[in-house]
Amino acid sequence: MVAKPAETSSEASREDETTPSPAQNPPAPVFKFESRRSVVHSTEGIVACSQPLAAKCGLDVLRAGGNAAHVYGAPFARQHGLTLMCLQDAAVAVAAGLNVTEPVDCGLGGDAFILYWDAAAKKVSALNGSGRSGMNYTLDRVRAELEPNAFKIPQYSPHSVTVPGAAGCWVDTVENLGSGKLTLAQVLEPATALAEKGFPVSEVTAYYWGFQEKEMREASPSFAELLKKDPAAQNGVRPPRNGEIFKNPTLAQTFKTLAAEGRKGFYEGRIAKEIIQVLRDRGGFHKLEDLKQHGDVGSESVEPISLAFCAQGLGDERGVRLWEHPPNGMGIVALMAMGIIQEAEAQDKIPVFTPKDFNTTPYVHVIIEALRLAFADANWFVTDPDVTPVPTAGLISKEYLAERAKLFDPKRVAPKLNHGDPPRGVPPAFQSCDTVYFSVTDAQGNAASFIGSNFSGFGTTIIPCGCGFTLQNRGSGFSLDPEHPNRIEPRKRPYHTIIPGLVTNLAGDTLHSTLGVMGGNMQPQGHVQVLMAQLVGGKDPQESLDAARFRVRPSQGSGEVTWTVEVESSLPPETIEGLRKLGHKIEVVGGNKRTTSFGRGQVIRRTTGAEATALSMALRVWSDRRRIWNGERGEAPRKAAGMGIDRMAAAGRAVCRSRFWTGWSAGVSR
């Protein structure tokens, strides 16, 4: 049975390293839930995201029609009751639903990235929906506005606002990758209705909503748009509380404008004028031309980058290819780390690990050092390749990764790591991170891996009048070092932390899985750990997400990388002690802080058998003080929705027949 909007709650997902410290350690009662849920099954597809109402938005669009008619033929589909699928349309519907229900993480004021697997063509496509700095944003002008010794743009500064790219990404996804059977208005209708009628705010979302109330009131004359009416509260409004219904009619109107006018409706006209007006009032240098330029160009279709991994006894038969977005995103960190591990084995520095070796000292040590080497390069080289050349191909070349692997010592920590000197000469045409991640799949084996973010909570908390969303602060990712490749310059995309992931099988070139881990620079580290847990540790998708994690916390802004290694308290004590003996600076993280250090995550994996084709979906979520099954009791933070031939389901209900997709969901303490 599909959950009714008024009966369901949600949990926000958080970007870890950018959220102020009080939000990183919310009071324990917020995370008291011990949720349980059963496996989700579906015959036709899965929507896996952090909010059941957003998942329902996707299911509503999947019901409306799409790709299955091309495979089965429309008459056959109608005769057998097959729901016609429209994968990318549904992905945008979910993104809009998350904008409504989790504005503390994502929305039209932020950015988005998508990877898409076309099962028929056996091709991965990528769409970069991140925005650029304004044309007036020179390094000298920005530095003149900040403290003399500032090394980055403050997060609540109007100068941290880059052009929001999410709106363009939504439009371009529907127009260029969608089914062609639904209008943008039809795709956005479920989320529009949700914004108009209201939705119940979850306890966790309510907590983070209230945390940035002060900044929102100070930054925005229109602060009341994202607060709830209460005659007893300051100015008659306050943040919504747990379980209260919140309506956002101005966001609904923004959706309608976007649906009716496309990119032009957002990047020109009233919405654009309100964005520029509020930024100029706050001291920003933005111009209407900045928005119009993005609207004219739209999102950028880029060539995804990938690395084949067939080490650790996998070979070509069981090996995989990991796909990521190219810079300005940091997905290249995951590719480099996997490649360094592969080359370390080729140099006989590590053995072929068995499942019994999972999360032992040698296993964790090589992943940590590979990540450190990758970050040493990425923290220097990753930027907008359209403005500053990035040696992308050189960084992930076998020759360069082999050279970097030579710096790995299985017996000790490398004391200092600087960026290397990868092969250059790669033409710009080669390129022709709070956060929500979700994935949508269909019965034909197509998959969309989608991620969006405001960067830090509500971003700047600046609300354009009458628009119903806040503006991101992704410009804080720029460097103010004039020698740094990622220095701020006019019309440049900043270093991005948010990355969707996708994995294909080397044998047969078929879909293996979609994956995403939310949380600042944990994201590429999570991709490596979750994938290695499945490939090497023998874990299923749920076990790979449940497993104890570790996080390299690198410095930024210089060639040399210093580090601390944060490890979950559930990592084996002997592993922690072994890492210390190797010279690692270890910080054991437990309790509520675990949520912000190690990220949430989602995996959908497809397997084939003699009698069934299955898709396994797993989620890492946060609850009380131990790993638990998420679902029916208490608050169910992460939700999966499956769609079957007989009926569809949200929030963990579906019917399964001989051909099925299946999903699991689990939780870890905050």
At residue 160's C-alpha, the angle toward residues 159 and 163, to 5°, is 95
* pLDDT for position 561: 54
* Residue 234: exposure state from Cβ atoms within 10 A (0-12, 13-18, ≥19): exposed
Tally of CB atoms within 10 A around 168: 30
Tally: H helices and E strands in the chain? 23, 24
Using 50, 70 and 90 to split pLDDT, how confident is the model at 555? low
Dihedral pair phi/psi, residue 570, rounded to 5°? -85, -5
Tokens of 191: 């989320």
Residue 376 is assigned to a structural domain of this protein: yes
For tokens 């002997």, the residue is 574
**What proportion of the chain, given as a percentage, has pLDDT over 70?**
77
- In this predicted structure, which of 212-221, 409-418, 568-577 has the lowest mean pLDDT? 409-418
More confident residue, 421 or 308: 308
Tokens of 565: 């290694």
Q: What one-character-per-residue DSSP string does 123-172 give?
A: EEEEEEE-----TT--HHHHHHHS-TT--S--TTSGGG-PPP-HHHHHHH
Residue 564 is assigned to a structural domain of this protein: yes
Residue 408 is assigned to a structural domain of this protein: yes
Residue 69 is assigned to a structural domain of this protein: no
Tally of CB atoms within 10 A around 155: 21
- In this predicted structure, which of 212-216, 257-261, 496-500, 543-547 has the lowest mean pLDDT? 543-547
- Are the CB atoms for 42 and 664 separated by under 8 Å? no
**For residue 10, pLDDT beyond 70:** no
**For residue 597, pLDDT beyond 90:** no
* pLDDT for position 194: 97
**For residue 321, pLDDT beyond 80:** yes
At residue 341's C-alpha, the angle toward residues 374 and 402, to 5°, is 75
**For residue 314, pLDDT beyond 70:** yes
**What proportion of the chain, given as a percentage, has pLDDT over 90?**
63
- Are the CB atoms for 568 and 550 separated by under 8 Å? yes
Dihedral pair phi/psi, residue 633, rounded to 5°? -100, 140
**For residue 598, pLDDT beyond 70:** yes
Dihedral pair phi/psi, residue 441, rounded to 5°? -130, 160
Q: Report pTM.
A: 0.85
Which residues, in sequence order, are bridge partners of residue 115?
A: 126, 449
Residue 219: name the closest of 280, 156, 277 by CA: 156
* pLDDT for position 286: 98
Q: What is the mean pLDDT of residues 297-321?
A: 97
* pLDDT for position 207: 87
More confident residue, 662 or 363: 363
The 10 Å CB-count burial string (b at 16+, else e) for 462-487 is bbbbebbbbbbbbbbbbbbeeebbbb
Residue 554 is assigned to a structural domain of this protein: yes
* pLDDT for position 265: 98
Per the structure, the complete domain to which residue 539 belongs is given by 302-433+499-596
* pLDDT for position 599: 80
More confident residue, 355 or 72: 355
How many domains would you assign to the chain?
1
**For residue 519, pLDDT beyond 80:** yes
d(CA 372, CA 615): 33
* pLDDT for position 72: 37
Q: What is the mean pLDDT of residues 380-403?
A: 96
Residue 524 is assigned to a structural domain of this protein: yes
Using 50, 70 and 90 to split pLDDT, how confident is the model at 28? low
Query: Coil, strand, or helix at residue 568?
Result: strand
Residue 632 is assigned to a structural domain of this protein: no
Using 50, 70 and 90 to split pLDDT, how confident is the model at 44? low
For tokens 């070509």, the residue is 316
More confident residue, 668 or 363: 363
- Eight-state DSSP code of residue 479: B
The CATH number of whichever domain residue 402 belongs to comes to 1.10.246.130
Residue 467 is assigned to a structural domain of this protein: no
Using 50, 70 and 90 to split pLDDT, how confident is the model at 423? low
**For residue 363, pLDDT beyond 90:** yes
What confidence tens digit (pLDDT) does each residue in 407-422 have?
999 999 998 788 887 7
For tokens 């709106």, the residue is 167
269 Ramachandran zone, left/alpha/beta (phi>0; psi -120 to 50): left
Report the DSSP pairing between strands 586-589 and 563-568.
parallel
* pLDDT for position 40: 57
d(CA 339, CA 632): 41
Q: What is the mean pLDDT of residues 563-573?
A: 93
**For residue 544, pLDDT beyond 70:** yes
**For residue 663, pLDDT beyond 70:** no
For tokens 């429309």, the residue is 74
Using 50, 70 and 90 to split pLDDT, how confident is the model at 5? very low
Q: What is the mean pLDDT of the chain?
A: 81
* Residue 440: exposure state from Cβ atoms within 10 A (0-12, 13-18, ≥19): buried
Q: What is the mean pLDDT of residues 661-668?
A: 28
* pLDDT for position 618: 59
- In this predicted structure, which of 187-201, 203-217, 519-533, 632-646 has the lowest mean pLDDT? 632-646
Could you give the dihedral angle defined by the CA atoms of residues 191, 194, 196 and 202, in that order, rounded to the nearest 10 degrees? -130
Residue 437: name the closest of 572, 357, 564, 545 by CA: 545
What confidence tens digit (pLDDT) does each residue in 75-95 have?
433 443 333 448 899 999 999
What confidence tens digit (pLDDT) does each residue in 449-460 have?
999 999 889 999
**For residue 568, pLDDT beyond 90:** yes
**For residue 18, pLDDT beyond 70:** no
User: Which of 39-48, 423-432, 575-584: highest mean pLDDT?
Assistant: 575-584
